[in-house]
Each structure stands twice: as C-alpha cells, then as structure tokens.
A and B are shown apart, each in its own frame.
Chain A
C-alpha cells in the first residue's frame, strides 16, 4: 500500500508541475486567499463559520472548510476525469482493487494540497511577521473530520461510478456540507444532541470550535465519539463504494462516460 501511495504521489506531483504556468497559477490563488485572510477579509474564510474572532480561528475555519470540500469531491472528480481520458478501466484492472487505488490517490492529493497550503501559509507568516498559535490537540478532532470526509468522498464516488455525471448533485451537496461543518451541534440538547453525534463530521467540527473559539480543553469522551463517528462513516463510505463497483460491473458501465 505504501508503494501504491508513493506511486500516486509521484504521478500527481509530476502532473502538477508538468505545466509550470498552471502550477504557478494555482499557487498564486492559494497565496491570494491566505493573504486576504491576513488582511482582514474574513468572508474569504467561507460562509459564516469562523472559529472565534482571532486570526488563528479564522485560518483553522478556512483550512477545515477547504479541506473538507477538497476531500469530499476528490474521489468523484477523479473518477469522472479518468473516465473521460480513458484510463479508468486500467485502474480497475489493478490487483490492488479500485477502492485501495482511489484511497491512495485521495491521500496523495491531500498530501500535495496540504503541503502547498502549509508552505504558502508559512511563507506568508515569515513575510508578515505574524504568529499563529495552534495547539497540537487540534489535530485529533481534525483527523476525525477528515475520516468522515473520506467516507462521504467514497459515497460521492459511488454515485459518480453509477451515474457518471454528478456535477449538479455535487453543487447541491456543498450546502449539506456547509450545514454539517458550520452548525453548532455541540450546543444542541436532548434528542437533537444525539442527532448531532450521528451526523458525519459534526462532532469533530464542534470540538474544533470548542477548542479554538471557546478556549475549552479536549474532552476524551467527546473525542472518542468523534473518532467513532469518523471511523464508522469512513467504513460505510468504503462499503458503499465496493457495492457500487459490483453494481457497475453487473451493469457493464465501468469506464463509460
């Protein structure tokens, strides 16, 4: 699996830098976005969720939102692109199996995306002399959110595999994502509280809000529930994807566009 991840990382990196104009354009967009945040244009961080009023909170809010958006549509868009260029069937001929290959691809894209974003962030910090303070404990809830996001990504990928064209659904799904990430379910009570725990990503996002905006500490019980939420959604996403693969093979539509 490590070999496969490295192969995907190398392929994605080579494709990214093959046309320098395009790569530089992408980096300039990231620079402008972060610079906008630093200049105080908080609306850039995404619609209506800033984890506190401090710059640290705004940055975390933006990074989380862009990461979740990026992850959730990664498998579906990858499937559509491969289907268009005609390499999708070769992926399904890999002895690793399609779900492992798409997972390796998603992780490799995430690595490249994070590296670029963090690289730009560090350069801006150095240039502006600003300082951001993040507790390492933020990483744990972030991981639970990312796990659930990958689960949703595989569910979206399943739709792309069976329906082929899912752009309209993806646009609609962005609103659902906004609800999942931005709604303060941690303040809900009673049966709604249970619903909040069952929804994907909400527990992890809530913990991040508590940590950043309210200055609260990490609650191990809450973290356990968030982790369980992430693992369950991730496993569910993979199961749905495998079922979709079987169905696509039964209908004979793998590779068609």
Chain B
C-alpha cells in the first residue's frame, strides 16, 4: 500500500475579491521508503499542497489518503503522519528536548511510558541526549534535529518535511541529510520541500516540480537529470588553439568557444577532435551533465513561457 496518495487536489482562495487558483489538479503518490522532492518557486502551491495532505487545509476537490486513510475525516490517518512545518517553529522553547519529545508523543496518542522510551531512543540517536537545557538555548541545527525527532516520535509512515535545512550551516545540513537518508532506509515515506536543490538532488528518489499550482514534471530524479543533460563533451585546453586547428575542428562540427574551450556534441566526434588536438595539453575533458538546479530553472521558465500571464 502507498504511504501517501493524493489525487486531483484543487484549492482556490479569494483575495481582495479575486479568485486565486493556488493548486490545480495536483496528484502525488509516495511508496514506503521513498523520498519525493516536491519543488517549486515561491507561491507555486507547495505549502498549500502539503497542508492539504496534512489535513490542515480542506481541498475544494480531490482526496488524500495516508496509509489508506483520509486525514480530513479519520484521526487514525494523523497517527501515521509526522510533519516538520516552517523550519524550527514546531517546538516549545521553554521545554528541554526530552520534555518536548515526551509531550508530543503523548499528543500523538502514545501513553506516557512509550512516549518516554521513544524519547530516550531518539535523543540518543540524534545526539541530543546531553542537552538538558530549554530548546531556546540550543543551536539552530540542534533545534532542527529535535523538530525532526519530534516528528518521528510516534513512528509515522509518512513524514512531511518543509524546508528542513533552511538556515542551517554546512555541518548541520549534512547531519540532517544523513538523518533523512536513514529514516527513508527504515521504510518511512518522505515528502520533502526545499529551495536548496542540491539537497533535493542528494536525497530524493523522485522529483515533482510544481509551478503555478500544477505539476510541471514528475520523474525519478536521475532520469529527469539525464533527460535534461545534453550529452555533449567539453574540452578545456591549457593554451589557446592556433587558427589552423580551429578551422579543422569546425569542419568536424566542434564548437570552439573561447579559443581554449571546445564543445563536442556527440561521443563519436570526440576522438577525431582529440586526434587533432594531439599533442597539446588539455586541462580536462568532461561530459556535460545537468543538475537539478538547471532542470528546475528550465522547466519553470518553459512553463512560464507556455502559460500566458
């Protein structure tokens, strides 16, 4: 059974007398153990979609199932859901990490004994067991790790992570990334939104890009990157090429960009080009590979051009 199924979600708001279509026909599914990066520019409809999935915003149309149950009508669905919403603002700042974990465990329906036991396990696992001070005195990274631990205290099947690495330093970001990987390996499904596309690329199995309230692309992360990679090769030389070589390269279809950088669009042209360059010293030969940032920008720009207004 899918950990999450969302079908044809729609939401329209009224703002200053105008109808604003925040989300138009969004469908998503996540299997246990899978990480779906849900990406989109500001105002694209990510947060509205996540909150519809969590049961915090009622969709105008469509439905959501978490482990087969409807979070809008069935409290059992909420037992299968953990969420870190809006950065670190999910904790009681006057309570210690252990007190927060125990309280939220009970708020999720665990009895005191189990909540305390899970709290101790998570504190140890997340390296928070020595922190006996109120949350407000912890570093931003520690607070974020604790927010993640709190979302896991009742062992949910689906975890919603809204910008989990926002504002964290490099080390804390790596810690959170490692934890997210671990959690997914244990079988929990994760819906991740982030503006840090390298984080999404590193963590996700699949990517869904939302723009202007609709899904612009959804595919396995690596397949999407391959689809947007040109397959061209780029050769950088130590010195500028002489005019004779430049002319010969042009006849082979290679493009000499700055006198020292040559672009070859097909693998079969690469070796004839290298023969011509012999014995000049190259700096590097690299295959042009798109990254998620490029893919994201291309898709969003394409989509902007195709939809007027």
Which of A90, A96, A97 contacts B90, CB < 8 Å? A90
Which of B13, B78, B91, B95 contacts A94, CB < 8 Å? B78
Which of A7, A86, A96 contacts B89, CB < 8 Å? A86
A3-19 at interface with B (beta carbon < 8 Å): 3-4, 6-7, 10-11, 14-15, 18-19
* Alpha-carbon distance A255/B104, docked complex (angstroms): 17
* Alpha-carbon distance A89/B85, docked complex (angstroms): 8
Q: Are B89 and A11 in contact (CB under 8 A)?
A: no
Give A10-31 as 1s and 0s: 1 = Cβ < 8 Å from B's Cβ atoms: 1100110011000000000000
Q: Are A249 and B58 in contact (CB under 8 A)?
A: yes
Q: Are A3 and B106 in contact (CB under 8 A)?
A: yes
Q: Are B112 and A3 in contact (CB under 8 A)?
A: yes
Within the complex, the shortest CB–CB distance from A63 to chain B, in Å, comes to 28
Within the complex, the shortest CB–CB distance from A51 to chain B, in Å, comes to 37
Q: Are A93 and B112 in contact (CB under 8 A)?
A: no
When distances are taken between beta carbons in the complex, the residues of chain B under 8 Å from A101 are 107
A54 within 8 A of B: no
Q: Are A87 and B106 in contact (CB under 8 A)?
A: no
Within the complex, the shortest CB–CB distance from B93 to chain A, in Å, comes to 7
Q: Are A7 and B112 in contact (CB under 8 A)?
A: yes
When distances are taken between beta carbons in the complex, the residues of chain B under 8 Å from A15 are 92, 94-95
Q: Are A95 and B76 in contact (CB under 8 A)?
A: yes
* Alpha-carbon distance A86/B79, docked complex (angstroms): 20
Q: How many A-B residue pairs have C-beta atoms within 8 angstroms? Tell me.
A: 93
A39 within 8 A of B: no
B220 within 8 A of A: no
Size band of the interface chain A makes with B:
20 to 34
B81 within 8 A of A: yes
Within the complex, the shortest CB–CB distance from B90 to chain A, in Å, comes to 6
Contact A93 to B92, CB < 8 A, known contacts A3-B106, A86-B86, A252-B48: no
Q: Are B13 and A93 in contact (CB under 8 A)?
A: no
Which of A14, A86, A93 contacts B99, CB < 8 Å? A14
When distances are taken between beta carbons in the complex, the residues of chain A under 8 Å from B190 are none
Q: Are B89 and A85 in contact (CB under 8 A)?
A: yes
Give B128-140 as 1s and 0s: 1 = Cβ < 8 Å from A's Cβ atoms: 0000001000000
B297 within 8 A of A: no
B109 within 8 A of A: yes
Give B50-93 as 1s and 0s: 1 = Cβ < 8 Å from A's Cβ atoms: 01001111100000000000001001101101010110011111
Contact A94 to B107, CB < 8 A, known contacts A18-B94, A249-B58, A252-B48: yes
* Alpha-carbon distance A3/B89, docked complex (angstroms): 25
Which of B58, B92, B111 contacts A11, CB < 8 Å? B92
Give A217-254 as 1s and 0s: 1 = Cβ < 8 Å from B's Cβ atoms: 00000000000000000000000000000100111101
* Alpha-carbon distance A95/B99, docked complex (angstroms): 20
Q: Which residue of A lies closest to B56 (CB)?
A: A254
* Alpha-carbon distance A18/B132, docked complex (angstroms): 12
Within the complex, the shortest CB–CB distance from B41 to chain A, in Å, comes to 19
* Alpha-carbon distance A246/B55, docked complex (angstroms): 11
**A residues engaging B (CB < 8 A)?**
3-4, 6-7, 10-11, 14-15, 18-19, 85-87, 89-97, 101, 246, 249-252, 254-255
Q: What are 8 of the A-B contact pairs (CB < 8 Å)?
A: A11-B99, A11-B103, A15-B92, A18-B95, A85-B92, A246-B58, A249-B55, A254-B57
Of all A-B residue pairs in the complex, the 5 with the closest CB atoms, nearest first, are A86-B89, A7-B106, A95-B75, A252-B57, A95-B78
